[in-house]
Structure formats: C-alpha cells, structure tokens
Amino acid sequence: GQNIDQPTEMTATEGAIVQINCTYQTSGFNGLFWYQQHAGEAPTFLSYNVLDGLEEKGRFSSFLSRSKGYSYLLLKELQMKDSASYLCAVTDSNYQLIWGAGTKLIIKP
C-alpha cells in the first residue's frame, strides 16, 4: 500500500526554527510537495522537490532524500501566522498525488 507518515502535532516558539519530517512509501516517485493549510481554509503550495537536496525559499526550506523515502520542511524565524497544518504529498508512478494527514504546528509566543 501507499503511505505517507508525518507527526500529528508539533509545538514551537515564535522566532525559533522547526523541522517537520515526512516519510513515504509509494509505488514510484515523481516528486514531493509541501502545502500549508490554515484551519478552515484550502491548502496553499509551499515547495516542490524531485531531486535530492535542499530547496530554499525565504524562511522555508524543503529537503528530499529519495533513497531514504524522506523529506523535511524547515521553517525559520517562526511567526504566529505560521500556525497551520503542513501537508506532505507525493506524486506516484501514475502521477496521482498521495497525501499525508498533515502536521499541526502550534506557535507559542
């Protein structure tokens, strides 16, 4: 079966750094997405990785290791508005997007 694993919930402090991990087992791999979803709203695109390594975009970075079936999203200089769920999603060999259940990130002052 296909599976995406993420922690259910994480807590971090405003101004700090947090790393959200994602491991996957899918039938094939054609890229990994991270989306941000605020409560009651739709997911919005954060990043895409298809090759191994780190992609940096402002305060957010995403890392991929295809051999380990592993990715992480790194958020720096946390702000209160970063409180949201972060969803990891993998495109499989049929170009279907397989979604994780998301990690709820709680930011404390």
Partner 1 sequence: DAMVIQNPRYQVTQFGKPVTLSCSQTLNHNVMYWYQQKSSQAPKLLFHYYDKDFNNEADTPDNFQSRRPNTSFCFLDIRSPGLGDAAMYLCATSRARGEGNEQFFGPGTRLTVL
Beta-bridge partner residues of 99: 89
Using CB under 8 A, count the residues that bind partner 1: 24
Instruction: Show contacts with partner 1 in window 76-105 (CB under 8 A).
Output: 85, 87, 91, 95-97, 99-102, 104
Instruction: Show contacts with partner 1 in window 23-52 (CB under 8 A).
Output: 30-31, 33, 40-45, 48, 50
Strands (E), the chain: 3-5, 9-13, 18-25, 32-37, 44-49, 53-57, 60-65, 70-75, 84-91, 97-99, 103-108
Residues in contact with partner 1 by CB under 8 A are: 4, 8, 30-31, 33, 40-45, 48, 50, 85, 87, 91, 95-97, 99-102, 104
